[in-house]
Chain A
């Protein structure tokens, strides 16, 4: 198939940036979206042009590096990561727009690459448990109800890709933050720091210039890991509880 790509090109942080069109011919339906970009980049390199910079690492949907906005939707038309999106989701002759995540908290470094360090700093603010390390305890030493374990595991699948922020009309990072709060808050090991964690993480979230959540739900609709919207409610409940109890 032949497609027209319109890609956001931006030389560096301070460059203005613009959409640039490219024709990509003989694209196979079985290529992943990133492989299609690789093909285009090879051509650009041979022609002596600057290849399109995009972030990627695992290419198997688990590292969260590869996010771009495709046709206005974070990670494109399928609910998966960009690396797991295949060209069979498009038609011959399509025009496909590719843009970087757009948020104040995610400054563009180059072309499609953004700095998602703000998400790391939210984790650093409280998304961990403080435990003395040593030999691993017996797996059954602390019983965890099955439903809690499941919910914690589901929340823990968040790969920090940032699609939720890119899709949110408020550029809020609440779904990401809520996934981390829920993941640790459902488990016994997460309890001692539970009240303090949510306050610190939400404060950091606001300090990083993410917007405020208005519960529109675009985040959960594009999340490649299916983090549910009600984790945000759980975060709010923890937050109000910890503010009310003063246990911060």
Chain B
């Protein structure tokens, strides 16, 4: 139970981060100077109260902790659900009819494997743009240039497309689920909450996909 609340709270932190991150990405439309300045300012955030990159490291620690707690809770609950279902053999019910349940959504039953895809993507993404261990399209000192170089390659764009669709589905069910886990749902609100969850998920997915596609089709860079 504590696990569920932990997932909801860390999930909300991650959603807020994603919104801020998406806003940052959209600065790519401002051109090289705006984007590079933004990336640079992130490192100066909080100075002189905090040391160089101080705020950035605080954010990184909070995010890492959130992801670890979130994933720990997810895997624990995953194992618990497996045990609780008491399936005989591969399947819980032998009937091959109505395997997809009565009303459950695609998003709701891909939370776990979808979450795994997202976390793998996050590692790949960090290697790409944060640590620069991989540099498809060519390395550069300018963050803007690295982004443009990367997204001129079709398979990079494709990998981001798949990952963002996975994030979108994860958030679509996750945001709704978090409101219920945190006790905020009421019969009269249920529809509204689902609409909001879908809207936030859609905005985040589209917002993240606009820069790569714009670069790929030569609108930017």
Q: How far is the CA of A170 from the CA of B151 in the complex (A)?
A: 40
Q: Is the CB–CB distance between B97 and A169 below 8 Å? A: no
Q: Is the CB–CB distance between B83 and A71 below 8 Å? A: no
Q: Is the CB–CB distance between A215 and B84 below 8 Å? A: no
Q: Is the CB–CB distance between A211 and B80 below 8 Å? A: yes
What are the residues of chain A within 8 A of B104 when measuring CB–CB? Answer: 169, 216-218
B87 located at the interface, meaning its Cβ lies under 8 Å from any Cβ of chain A in the complex: yes
Q: Is the CB–CB distance between B95 and A229 below 8 Å? A: no
Q: Which of A71, A73, A169, A233 contacts B186 (CB 8 A)?
A: A233
Number of chain B interface residues as a range? 35 or more
Chain A CB within 10 A, most for which of B84, B87, B105: B84
What are the residues of chain B within 8 A of A171 when measuring CB–CB? Answer: 81, 84-86
What are the residues of chain B within 8 A of A211 when measuring CB–CB? Answer: 77, 80-81, 83-85
A172 located at the interface, meaning its Cβ lies under 8 Å from any Cβ of chain B in the complex: yes
Residues of chain B from 177 to 205 with CB closer than 8 A to chain A in the complex? 177, 179-187, 189-190
What are the residues of chain B within 8 A of A102 when measuring CB–CB? Answer: 85-88, 92-93
Closest A residue to B85 by beta carbon equals A171
Q: Which of B81, B93, B105, B182 contacts A240 (CB 8 A)?
A: B182
Q: How far is the CA of A169 from the CA of B109 in the complex (A)?
A: 8
Closest B residue to A228 by beta carbon equals B187
What are the residues of chain B within 8 A of A228 when measuring CB–CB? Answer: 187
Q: Is the CB–CB distance between B102 and A71 below 8 Å? A: no
A230 located at the interface, meaning its Cβ lies under 8 Å from any Cβ of chain B in the complex: yes
Q: Which of B92, B102, B185 contacts A233 (CB 8 A)?
A: B185
B32 located at the interface, meaning its Cβ lies under 8 Å from any Cβ of chain A in the complex: no
Of B1-9, B12-20, B213-221, which binds chain A?
Answer: B1-9
B132 located at the interface, meaning its Cβ lies under 8 Å from any Cβ of chain A in the complex: no
B111 located at the interface, meaning its Cβ lies under 8 Å from any Cβ of chain A in the complex: yes
Q: Is the CB–CB distance between A104 and B86 below 8 Å? A: yes
Q: How far is the CA of A158 from the CA of B93 in the complex (A)?
A: 24
Q: How far is the CA of A238 from the CA of B176 in the complex (A)?
A: 19
Task: Known contacts A72-B99, A102-B93; decide if A169 and B1 are in contact (CB<8 Å).
Answer: no
Q: Is the CB–CB distance between A240 and B183 below 8 Å? A: yes
Residues of chain A from 212 to 232 with CB closer than 8 A to chain B in the complex? 212-218, 221-222, 228-230, 232
What are the residues of chain A within 8 A of B92 when measuring CB–CB? Answer: 102
B131 located at the interface, meaning its Cβ lies under 8 Å from any Cβ of chain A in the complex: no
Q: How far is the CA of A237 from the CA of B181 in the complex (A)?
A: 8
B47 to chain A, nearest CB (A): 37
Task: Known contacts A169-B101, A216-B108, A233-B186; decide if A209 and B93 are in contact (CB<8 Å).
Answer: no
Q: Is the CB–CB distance between B183 and A103 below 8 Å? A: no
Task: Known contacts A72-B93, A97-B94, A172-B84; decide if A237 and B183 are in contact (CB<8 Å).
Answer: yes
Q: How far is the CA of A202 from the CA of B5 in the complex (A)?
A: 14
Q: Is the CB–CB distance between B4 and A221 below 8 Å? A: no
Q: Is the CB–CB distance between A202 and B1 below 8 Å? A: yes
What are the residues of chain B within 8 A of A239 when measuring CB–CB? Answer: 1, 183
What are the residues of chain A within 8 A of B3 when measuring CB–CB? Answer: 212
A33 located at the interface, meaning its Cβ lies under 8 Å from any Cβ of chain B in the complex: no
Closest A residue to B3 by beta carbon equals A212
A8 located at the interface, meaning its Cβ lies under 8 Å from any Cβ of chain B in the complex: yes
Q: Is the CB–CB distance between A221 and B103 below 8 Å? A: yes
Task: Known contacts A229-B190, A230-B187, A232-B180; decide if A167 and B84 are in contact (CB<8 Å).
Answer: no
Chain A window 182-221, contacts with chain B (Cβ cutoff 8 Å), 1 for yes, 0 for no: 0000000000000000000010001001111111111001
What are the residues of chain B within 8 A of A209 when measuring CB–CB? Answer: 83-84
Residues of chain B from 63 to 111 with CB closer than 8 A to chain A in the complex? 77, 80-81, 83-88, 92-99, 101-105, 108-109, 111
9 example contacts (A-B, Cβ-Cβ < 8 A) are as follows A8-B94, A69-B93, A72-B97, A103-B85, A104-B85, A170-B84, A211-B77, A214-B111, A215-B176
4 smallest CB-CB distances across A and B, nearest first, come from A237-B183, A211-B84, A97-B95, A233-B185
Contact surface of A with B, Cβ cutoff 8 Å: 6, 8, 16-17, 19, 69, 71-73, 97, 99, 102-106, 167, 169-172, 202, 206, 209-218, 221-222, 228-230, 232-241
Instruction: Give 20 new A-B contacts, CB below 8 A, not counting A97-B97, A216-B101.
Output: A16-B88, A71-B97, A71-B98, A97-B95, A102-B85, A103-B85, A169-B104, A170-B85, A172-B81, A212-B77, A214-B177, A215-B181, A216-B109, A218-B103, A221-B102, A229-B180, A230-B187, A237-B182, A239-B1, A240-B182
